Amino acid sequence: MSKTLKGFARREWGALFSTVRTALVTKRWRAVPMTLGAVCLTALFQLVQNQDWGYQPVQDIGSVRAEDPLWLSLLRTPLSLFVPALDLPVWGALAQVLLVFGIAEICLGRWRTLGVAFLATLAGTLYARVGIALGPDNPFGLPATDAQVVDTGPSAAVVGLAVYVCWRYGARWTGALVVLSMVIEVVVKANLAGKEHIAAIAAVLVLIAVQAWRERGQDGVEPRPGTRSWKPPIRS
């Protein structure tokens, strides 16, 4: 039984663990400069928005609601990724960003990490508008009152990155577990945040499908230096 579990763990997390461990041992904190910056920025936003003088400025630059004009939401979306929810413990958000962003930065490189994170966040932001337009009677819809609710902050990006890294490094069961947990979240509590997480996952799954299709099209072609078709992606 123990050999079976060890074999499963090696297949599921071996490549991922080896990549992360090597980077942390050889470079230490220098392996994740973007992640450390994201953690500091998230902590700073949390600190400022809890001050009497700081709440409104943070809302003005980084809080997205479906009732806002679309151009304003798109303008705020990049920074909204680092504005934690006021009603949730900030330490949970910081731990999520440190762990998931850190692993993604090591495994994917900082620019691909940011790209996937923004894609997931943007998908959630745009879904909120579509869901409200569909209305509460539609299974994919939302009540009109959700237009005044602030979007998910870093959590949609965290979920999207987790699914993408799991796919890229062959941790299929772990990725499936992340998706299943988000589905259960929506079933138990069908709120805006849960449905935005599903929208983020859907966007990342589309990205995965496109990349998998492109890589299948390259089967039989000798990989060029720097390509990702035959092994986990190199850092950018």
Exposed (0-12), middle (13-18) or buried (19+): which is 204, by Cβ within 10 Å? buried
pTM of the model: 0.88
| pLDDT tens figures, 95-146 | 999 999 999 999 999 999 999 999 999 999 999 999 999 998 888 899 999 9
Provide the percentage of residues in the chain whose pLDDT is more than 90.
Answer: 53
- What's phi and psi for 2, nearest 5 deg? -65, -35
Q: How far is 92 from 147, CA to CA, in rounded Å?
A: 25
Q: Count CA atoms within 13 Å of residue 115 on its CB side.
A: 9
pLDDT band at 229 (very low <50, low <70, confident <90, very high): very low
The whole-number pLDDT of residue 69 equals 92
In the predicted structure, residue 203 carries a pLDDT above the cut 70: yes
User: For residue 133, what are the contacts with CB-CB under 8 A and spacing of at least 6?
Assistant: 141
**Per residue in 19-69, pLDDT tens?**
999 999 998 888 999 999 999 999 999 999 888 899 899 889 988 999 999
